[in-house]
Amino acid sequence: MKTLLLLASLVLAIEATYYYNPCRPNPCGSYATCTARGSRYTCKCNSGYVGNGRICDVNECDRPNICGSNKRCVNTPGSYRCICNQGYSLVDGQCVDIDECNRRPRVCDGKERCVNTQGSYRCVCKPGYEKIRGRCVDINECSSSPCDGNARCTNTPGSFRCQCNRGFTGNGLTCTDINECNAPVKPCHSNAQCTNTVGSFTCACNTGHTGDGQACG
C-alpha cells in the first residue's frame, strides 16, 4: 500500500512538471499578452498600450492631433503631456512661434540679417556681402567697375563709393566735365585765351603778350 502511494505521488509530480504553464495564472498586466517559453515566459503590452508588460498604459499619443498645432505629445503613466515644439513657447495655452531675431545677444553675425521663420530662423548676408564657405564676406564692388569712367571707386565694408575725378562733377556714377573757362573766377589771365579740355583747361596768352596764360605780360 505504501509503495502504491509513492508511485501515485511520483506520477502526479511528473504530470505537474510536464503540464506546467508559466502563464497560468497570468503573471502579466491586464493589457498584456503572456507567451510561455518552456518554464519561462515573456509579457508584452497589447497594441495601443506601452509599458514593460506587467504595467501597460494606454498611449494617448497615438491618437491623431491629440495636442493640436505646434505641440508634441509625451506619454506618461495613466496620462500624457503636450509640450511646445522647439522654436515655440507657451502663451495663453497656445504654442506660438519664438522670434529668435529679437534675442540678445544676436543669433546672427554682424554681416548678416536675421529672417524669422515658423519654429526657426535663417541668417542671410546683408547687401554688399556674399556667402563663402558658410561666412559672409565683403563683395569688392569696384572689381565690376560700377563708377563712371571719369571717377574712382573705393570699396567699403558692405558697399562702395564713387567720386568724380578732378575736373569733373557728378555723383560718381555719372560724371560731367567741368568747363573751368565758365567759372566765376576766371582761371586764365585777362590777356589770355581759356580753352576747355576733358577734365581740365589750357590758357594761352593773347597775341602780343607772353607768359603761361595764367600770367601774361
Residue 18 has pLDDT above 90, yes or no: no
C-alpha cell at position 22: 508559466
pLDDT tens per residue, range 176-215: 999 999 999 999 999 999 999 999 999 999 999 999 999 9
Nearest alpha carbon to residue 96 among 69, 67, 126: 69
Question: CA angle, corner 87, sides to 121 and 123, nearest 5?
Answer: 10
- pLDDT score at 19: 62
Out of 3-12, 106-115, 155-164, least confident range: 3-12
Q: Confidence band (pLDDT; 50, 70, 90) for 3?
A: low
- pLDDT score at 217: 82
Average pLDDT over residues 147-156: 97
Out of 11-15, 48-52, 74-78, 202-206, least confident range: 11-15
Question: CA angle, corner 28, sides to 22 and 34, nearest 5?
Answer: 55
Residue 139 has pLDDT above 90, yes or no: yes
Domains for the chain: give ranges and CATH numbers: 99-139 (2.10.25.10), 141-176 (2.10.25.10), 179-217 (2.10.25.10)
CA 59 – CA 157 distance, rounded (Å): 57
